[in-house]
């Protein structure tokens, strides 16, 4: 079993337990997710709050972007489109909101419930083109499950 499939199984068990403290559960998920791949250098969850994304639990350095308007940055774009964004080279994407000087690539995966975006997974990597279709498939499965937890 891969680290990814172990995490998905663990997440299914966590959801089945219907944890009363969802905040703590979400923090645990971010922690496991961050450790599931060595190329994930910053891992966080943003939650939709009105017309903004609000930073929830994260692992990695603190960021100044704790609130992002829908439509702004890679995160805000994914929140509007509802589609996963993979940016192989953040320096060449004019939408990019810089958080960390050493970030080279980024993936943003919306968390949708009943068609509406309620949050997203955001992962930064110091490696260029760190995210591929496998990451996308894996993280979209995590996002589906997170919709049940949020």
Does residue 126 bind ligand SME (CB under 6 A)? no
Does residue 127 bind ligand SME (CB under 6 A)? no
Which residues, 6 or more positions from 115, have their beta carbon under 8 angstroms from its beta carbon?
82
Q: Which range of residues in 1-9, 22-30, 70-78, 130-138 is near ligand SME by CB under 6 A?
A: 70-78
Does residue 66 bind ligand SME (CB under 6 A)? no
Sites for ligand SME among residues 92-111 (CB under 6 A): 96-97, 99, 106
Q: Which range of residues in 5-13, 30-38, 61-69, 130-138 is near ligand SME by CB under 6 A?
A: 61-69
Per DSSP, 36 falls in state: T
**Cβ atoms of 119 and 149 closer than 8 Å:** no
Sites for ligand SME among residues 2-41 (CB under 6 A): none
The sign of the CA dihedral 90, 94, 95, 96 is positive
**Cβ atoms of 74 and 42 closer than 8 Å:** no
């Amino acid at each position: 079993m891969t680290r990814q499939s172990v995490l998905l199984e663990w997440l299914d068990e966590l959801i089945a337990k219907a944890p009363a403290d969802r905040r703590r559960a979400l923090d645990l998920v971010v922690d496991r997710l961050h450790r599931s791949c060595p190329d994930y250098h910053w891992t966080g969850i943003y939650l939709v709050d009105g017309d903004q994304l609000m930073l929830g639990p994260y692992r990695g350095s603190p960021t100044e972007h704790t609130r992002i308007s829908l439509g702004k940055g890679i995160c805000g774009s994914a929140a509007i489109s509802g589609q996963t964004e993979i940016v192989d080279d953040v320096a060449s994407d004019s939408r990019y909101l810089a958080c960390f000087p050493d970030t080279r690539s980024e993936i943003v995966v919306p968390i949708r419930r009943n068609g509406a975006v309620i949050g997203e997974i955001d992962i930064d990597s110091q490696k260029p083109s760190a995210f591929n279709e496998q990451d996308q498939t894996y993280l979209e499965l995590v996002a589906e499950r997170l919709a049940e937890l949020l």
